[in-house]
Amino acid sequence: MHARSHNAVDRPSAILATIVFGVIGSIVFLLLPILIGVFSEELSLGTREVGWLGSADMIGMFMAAVVATAWIRRSDWRRAGLLAGLTLLLCHLASGWIEHYGALMVVRIVAGFAGGSMMSIALTALGDSRSPDRFFALFISGQLALGALGLAVLPVLIARFGLEGAFLALAIAVTVALASIPFLPRAGAFDAPARVSRVPLRKMLPGGVALIACFLFDLGVMMVWAYAERMGDAAGLEAVFIGNALAVSLLAALAGSLLAAAMGARFGRVLPLAVALVLQAIALWLLGGELSRQGFFAGVMLFAFAWNFPVAFQLAITVSVDVSGRLVVLFLSAVKLGYAAAPVLAALLIGGRGNFRPVLLVAAGFYLISAVIFAALARTKTSKRRE
């Protein structure tokens, strides 16, 4: 067993500060539908350029999650958090004024790296607490609540102040995260994870397959979510209605994550995955039809619920088959890699035709493959062993 010390990590003030710090650092991915819309309209960029810009933050977050595996157990979290928070603040402020595509792309990748580093600190700290399941659920809830607020407020700010208003609001949020740094723990309660080299490669294979399933699921999710606003716009729906529908859909997402927490393992892990797959299929069918206000609203509500409901079960399956104690650290990296690749792949599928159905069909295929893999892994007898 790992030695555990429950002082700084478990203080109520530290838990609250950690959640605030990580949520604000990682919130951009939930606001992608609005940001992609404003990139497209205000910067007069093509579909592929917008797709790459939509991926920029996610590319940075993926890089940060991978790099964090090297420094997260060796660094002072307050100092690292201050550096990451100040970098993110400057990137948000600069993004509102940069008009050159290449420069903006670089700044958003750096912003994603800074935000991903903040999220890595938060998730590591919460994982070291006495009740990681409970606090991780609160972290997801915080993300969804702030994301819903952002989706409701950003269209109003953009309509009045343009792109500068959106990124100024994000910069103000980062100042709140910076204020939470003095309350962060300086380090965690666990020693570094066990060395992967001690585990035979064949026993690590199921964990690696689980990461692939996670990547495919989140690739499909972000392909749809990043272009949800564009789907509504193409159907002639008003920007304010689209923003409000996306904001309310995050409440459905919150309901999905809380329901999963309440269910636990009561019904196993395969049944919830199957339910989520059916709901995703219905959501994509609604979004792929002749979109009315009611159809769009119902589609994004179901989609958001089915996006967040199975995540806890996916993570539990990954943990159960990871005998190394190390691969699960890369779960966040797999999520961010899927998010990063999604807008670019979706843009390629859309092309210049403005047809979103290929995106929905490919995403459906990814959901199906992912669900089958996770269901197969859930039935294996391999389990994680902690020394």
Per-residue pLDDT tens digits for 325-369: 555 557 777 887 888 788 888 888 887 666 788 889 999 999 999
End-to-end, the C-alpha distance of the chain in Å comes to: 5
Give pLDDT, residue 362. 93
Residue 85 has a pLDDT of: 95
Q: What is the pLDDT of residue 5?
A: 43
Tell me what pLDDT residue 215 has.
93
Residues (pLDDT < 50) of the chain are 1-6, 191-197, 382-387
The CATH number assigned to the domain with range 194-387 reads 1.20.1250.20
Predicted pLDDT at 324: 54
Q: Are 25 and 120 in contact (CB under 8 A)?
A: no
- Integer Cα distance of 295 and 297 in angstroms: 5
Phi-psi category of residue 292: left, alpha or beta, with phi > 0 → left and psi -120 to 50 → alpha: beta
pTM of the model: 0.71
Q: Do domains 8-187 and 194-387 have the same CATH topology?
A: yes
Take residue 203 and report the two structure tokens written for it.
């026993």
pLDDT of residue 387: 36
Fold of the CATH domain 8-187: Growth Hormone; Chain: A; (1.20.1250)
Pairwise CA distance, residues 102 & 134, whole Å: 41
60 within 8 A of 109, measured Cβ to Cβ: yes
Q: Which amino acid is at 136?
A: F
- For the record, the structure tokens of 306 come out as 């089915």
pLDDT of residue 110: 96
For the chain, the domains span 8-187, 194-387
